């Protein structure tokens, strides 16, 4: 006897695939067989199994086509799972088997045409009783954690799971109260878990201690699509992931009308409830995430960093040039603004000298910190009032900007290069709403 057992490829706990059609040696070469295919078929039971007496099969090579009840060969996108309300959609699988003269399976392998659609993970060899377990690639796993939208979709938020395999992320979105619309696995496979028409719990819109903020907007999950990418905290994405992610985002941008500058990272928007950007998600998607691959795509994705029309003089660049040339600054050849610094201010009717690089200057009238705060806010970062004080909130905004645009994980200071980049990004993108 042969037991064919079907399971979900990505879940560790049994997730049987019931009502799948099993075609043995169907006529024709098109896979999968059409729904009205005249070839006879069997279906798996509620346990995802079907049983066969191999004495009915002549020795030699045989083909087994596994066609889930809900399946498609299309890539995953906004169209996926639109229609009947189903819990799972899977890829189909074509298996080549060799049956010996003792009426047992001597070899089984996934056909090259469906190599990405699943795998065989268990073959229990016995002349009398064999189990052939096939695990199918899901493309839709419905999460129960979704909400009705109260805003049109105008933003896409990129995440990273923080783990090396996809299973824990899927389990989290099935049982942990959070969710995302899409997950991109390490091999480039995309799994959808929430319909685009619904809001997913990926941007902390319900937790008052973890608000999201961009420009003047908050509770961004109501208006955004969340895309998770499988990867550990210190791990970059694979080439296959970038290819799939770029394709998916471009499709979503085109369909929903999302402009490129509204594709941002989770670390760019997550605040702590007090307006400070939260370091809790600074690694999401993290400094290893290569935004340049998205920026250089055609059409481009994400905040641009070149191509702006600055117009007029750059007061911050002039300030750094003067300081670094030693006109107002002696000692180090490269000024670095840091937390605790502040621009000159009038306090109680008296001028308070500015403090730059941890040192007070009596003769400086420029306000570079205020300019930088304004530019960061115009990009979209939650920086607080442009008060000319390099306070903790400003430092957080600077650090998160550097993670996104400079691939840095350990800085919250501003040198001439970072200042120039802040100005460039501000000039190259529309002002945040």
Residues 56 and 104 in one domain: yes
What pLDDT does 322 receive? 84
What pLDDT does 279 receive? 87
Phi, psi of 183 (to 5 degrees): -130, 130
Residues 272 and 328 in one domain: no
Residues 121 and 148 in one domain: no
- As a dihedral over the C-alpha atoms of residue 415, residue 418, residue 419, residue 421, rounded to 10 degrees, the angle is 160
Residue 423 lies in a domain: yes
Q: What is the pLDDT along the chain (433 residues), one digit of tens a residue?
A: 899 999 999 998 889 999 999 999 887 656 666 556 677 899 999 999 999 999 889 999 999 999 999 999 999 999 999 999 999 999 999 999 999 998 889 999 999 999 999 999 866 665 567 899 999 999 999 999 998 998 999 999 999 999 999 999 999 999 988 999 999 999 999 999 999 999 998 986 444 445 899 999 988 999 999 999 999 988 999 999 999 999 999 999 999 999 999 999 999 999 887 888 988 889 999 999 999 999 999 999 999 998 877 666 889 998 998 888 765 444 445 889 999 999 998 777 788 899 999 999 888 889 999 999 999 999 999 999 999 999 999 999 999 999 999 998 778 899 999 999 999 999 999 999 8
Other CB atoms within 10 Å distance of the CB of residue 127: 10
Residues 125 and 226 in one domain: no
Residue 433 lies in a domain: no
Report the distance separating Cα 230 and Cα 283, nearest Å: 13
Residues 126 and 151 in one domain: no
Contact 110, 95 (CB under 8 A): yes
Residue 303 lies in a domain: no
Residues 327 and 423 in one domain: yes
CATH assignment at residue 119 = 2.60.40
Q: Which of 111, 136, 161 is the last residue of a domain?
A: 136
Residues 119 and 221 in one domain: no
Contact 422, 326 (CB under 8 A): no
Residue 327 lies in a domain: yes
Q: Can you give the pTM of this predicted structure?
A: 0.93
Residues 158 and 184 in one domain: yes
Residue 302 lies in a domain: no
What pLDDT does 331 receive? 45
Residues 228 and 124 in one domain: no
Q: Which of 87, 108, 136 is the last residue of a domain?
A: 136
Segment holding 360, helix H or strand E: strand 359-361
Q: Is the dihedral of CA 214, 215, 216, 217 positive or negative?
A: negative
Contacts of 128-133 with CB under 8 Å at 24 or more apart are 128/1, 129/1, 129/3, 130/1, 130/2, 130/3, 130/54, 130/104, 130/105, 131/2, 131/3, 131/5, 132/2, 132/3, 132/4, 132/5, 132/95, 132/97, 132/105, 132/108, 133/5, 133/6, 133/7
What pLDDT does 103 receive? 87
Q: Which tokens belong to 304?
A: 């641009």
CATH assignment at residue 271 = 3.40.80.10
Domain that holds residue 387: 315-428
Report the distance separating Cα 335 and Cα 111, nearest Å: 62
β-partners of residue 391 are none
Number of independent structural domains in the chain: 3
What pLDDT does 272 receive? 85
Segment holding 136, helix H or strand E: strand 130-136
Residue 308 lies in a domain: no
Residues 68 and 121 in one domain: yes
Residue 250 lies in a domain: yes
Residues 41 and 119 in one domain: yes
Cis peptide bond upstream of 339, omega within 30:
no
Q: Which of 76, 102, 136 is the last residue of a domain?
A: 136
Residues 108 and 245 in one domain: no
Residue 301 lies in a domain: no
């Amino acid at each position: 006897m042969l037991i064919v057992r079907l399971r979900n490829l990505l879940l560790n706990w049994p997730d049987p695939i019931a009502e799948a059609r099993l075609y043995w040696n169907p006529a024709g070469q098109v896979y999968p067989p059409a729904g009205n295919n005249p070839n006879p078929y069997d279906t798996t039971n509620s346990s995802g199994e079907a049983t066969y007496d191999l004495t009915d099969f002549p020795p030699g090579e045989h083909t087994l086509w596994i066609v889930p009840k809900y399946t498609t060969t299309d890539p995953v996108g906004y169209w996926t799972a639109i229609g009947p309300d189903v819990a799972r959609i899977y890829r189909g699988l074509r298996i080549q088997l060799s049956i010996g003269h003792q009426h047992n399976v001597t070899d089984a392998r996934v056909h090259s045409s469906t190599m990405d659609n699943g795998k065989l993970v268990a073959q229990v060899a016995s002349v009398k009783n064999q189990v052939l377990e096939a695990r199918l690639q899901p493309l839709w796993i419905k999460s129960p954690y979704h909400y009705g939208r109260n805003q049109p979709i105008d933003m896409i938020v990129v995440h990273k799971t923080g783990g090396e395999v996809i299973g824990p992320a899927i389990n989290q979105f099935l049982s942990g109260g959070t969710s995302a619309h899409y997950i991109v696995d390490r091999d480039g496979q995309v799994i959808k878990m929430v319909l685009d028409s619904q809001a997913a719990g990926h941007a902390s819109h319900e937790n008052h201690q973890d608000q999201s903020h961009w420009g003047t907007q908050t509770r961004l999950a109501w208006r955004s699509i969340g895309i998770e990418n499988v990867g550990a905290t210190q791990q970059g994405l694979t080439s296959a992931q970038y290819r799939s992610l770029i394709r998916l985002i471009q499709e979503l941008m085109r369909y929903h009308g999302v402009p490129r500058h509204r594709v941002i990272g989770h670390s760019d928007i997550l605040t702590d409830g007090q307006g400070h950007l939260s370091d809790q998600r600074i690694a999401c998607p993290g400094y290893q995430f290569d935004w340049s691959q998205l920026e250089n795509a055609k059409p481009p994705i994400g905040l641009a960093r070149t191509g702006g029309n600055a117009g007029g003089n750059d007061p911050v660049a002039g300030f750094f040039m003067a300081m670094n040339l030693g006109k107002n600054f002696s000692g180090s050849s490269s000024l670095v603004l840091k937390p605790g610094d502040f621009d000159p201010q009038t306090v109680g009717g008296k001028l308070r000298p500015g403090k730059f690089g941890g040192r007070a200057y009596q003769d400086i009238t420029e306000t570079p910190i205020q300019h930088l705060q304004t530019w960061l806010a115009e990009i979209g970062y939650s920086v607080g009032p442009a008060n000319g004080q390099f306070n903790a909130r400003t430092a957080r905004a600077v650090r998160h900007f550097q993670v996104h645009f400079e691939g840095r994980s350990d800085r919250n200071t501003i040198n001439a290069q970072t200042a120039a980049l802040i100005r460039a990004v501000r000039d190259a993108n529309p002002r945040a709403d």
